[in-house]
Amino acid sequence: MTLQDTVPGIPGATIRRVEHLPTQLPGGVRAGPRAQAVTGQLLFVAPHIARFLARDGNLIEFVPDPDADPGAVTLFLNGTVRGALIHMRGELPLHAATLVPPGGDRALAICGPSGTGKSTLGAELSRRGWTLVADDTTRVVWDGDCAMAWPSRDSIKLWRDACEAAGLDIAGLERVTRKLDKYYVRVAARDAPIRLGTIVELAPDCPDTALSGGDKMALVSRNTYRPGQIKALGMQKAHVHIVARIATACAIHRLPGKGALPLAALAEAVERMVR
């Protein structure tokens, strides 16, 4: 099984395959489904796939099951476990597809619950000349005076029906896992961090209305990836701190998602936000 040995978007963080990991963390508390944590460590078990231990914000160790699907191992490495590293560092894993408009110097993050169309909209914007920063989960860091979005993969994960609607032939695409009818679609992507200027939340039947400061903080907080890890890792104070900074620094909007608008109309609404 050949797998990555570095963590996308977190320079210096590494991934290491090991022979053994503990089944319990001494003093660990529940940190979401099949996960337990203490300050600085999170143990996560994906049945029939692998056991993972994230440590100190810069290391992931894992023990794969003998017959594990490498795609599934990679999915969890880049998802749940990578998210834990970001939380440990006092940064924000934003559940968002993030892109940069043509000629732009600031990124726009598209967030929302699973199934609201983040990746599909990201793929449509990519087709219109936007450049991908990150798909699904974006590492956002406060650099002293602004929020910075860090790049990860150079592809967007799309379900078969979204690929077909976009005219893509799945025969030439890498499947995400053996069981998921979902595929990696390569797109133009950045290789360096960029300032995050706008956050858009997709929600069913949701108009773009003015948001108060408290509304903006709530929006950023509820679109945090794996929020159940925060308290278990002892990072509540750091999380509130970075959410407040990002909510203040970024323009924040809400738009209808989950098919409430035709894809082209939704993409045009997003494009108007950055003109």
Task: Tokens for 242, please give them.
Answer: 């970075």
Same domain, 48 and 77: yes
Same domain, 133 and 167: yes
Same domain, 85 and 101: no
Model confidence pTM above 0.85 = yes
Query: Does any domain span residue 9?
Result: no
Task: Tokens for 137, please give them.
Answer: 């989960």
Helix extents (H) in the chain: 70-76, 82-88, 118-127, 160-165, 213-222, 228-232, 236-249, 263-273
| Final residue before a domain boundary, out of 89, 114, 149 | 89
- Alpha-carbon distance of 122 to 110, in angstroms, equals 8
Same domain, 125 and 64: no
Q: What residues make up the domain containing 63? A: 14-89
Query: Does any domain span residue 4?
Result: no
Neighbours of 79 (CB within 10 A): 17
Question: Which of 215, 223, 224, 77 is CA-nearest to residue 152?
Answer: 77
Same domain, 171 and 47: no
Same domain, 147 and 185: yes
- Alpha-carbon distance of 210 to 55, in angstroms, equals 40
Q: Could you give the number of structural domains in the chain?
A: 2
Which 3 state secondary structure label does DSSP give 115?
A: coil
In CATH, what number is assigned to the domain containing residue 134? 3.40.50
What are the pLDDT tens digits along the chain (275 aa)? 456 789 999 999 999 999 999 999 999 999 999 999 999 999 999 999 999 999 999 999 999 999 999 999 999 999 999 999 999 999 999 999 999 999 999 999 999 888 888 999 999 999 999 999 999 899 999 998 999 999 998 999 999 999 999 999 999 999 999 999 999 999 999 999 999 999 999 987 666 567 889 999 999 999 999 999 999 999 999 999 999 999 999 999 999 887 788 999 999 999 999 87
- Alpha-carbon distance of 253 to 236, in angstroms, equals 25
Surface-to-core class of residue 175, CB atoms within 10 Å of its CB (0-12 exposed, 13-18 middle, 19+ buried): middle
Same domain, 269 and 233: yes
Residue 77: partners with Cβ closer than 8 Å, 6 or more residues away:
3, 4, 7, 15, 52, 60, 62
| Final residue before a domain boundary, out of 69, 89, 109 | 89
pLDDT of residue 275: 79
| Final residue before a domain boundary, out of 31, 66, 89 | 89
Same domain, 134 and 61: no
Cα angle 25, 28, 30 (rounded to 5 degrees) comes to 120
Same domain, 177 and 46: no
Query: Does any domain span residue 3?
Result: no
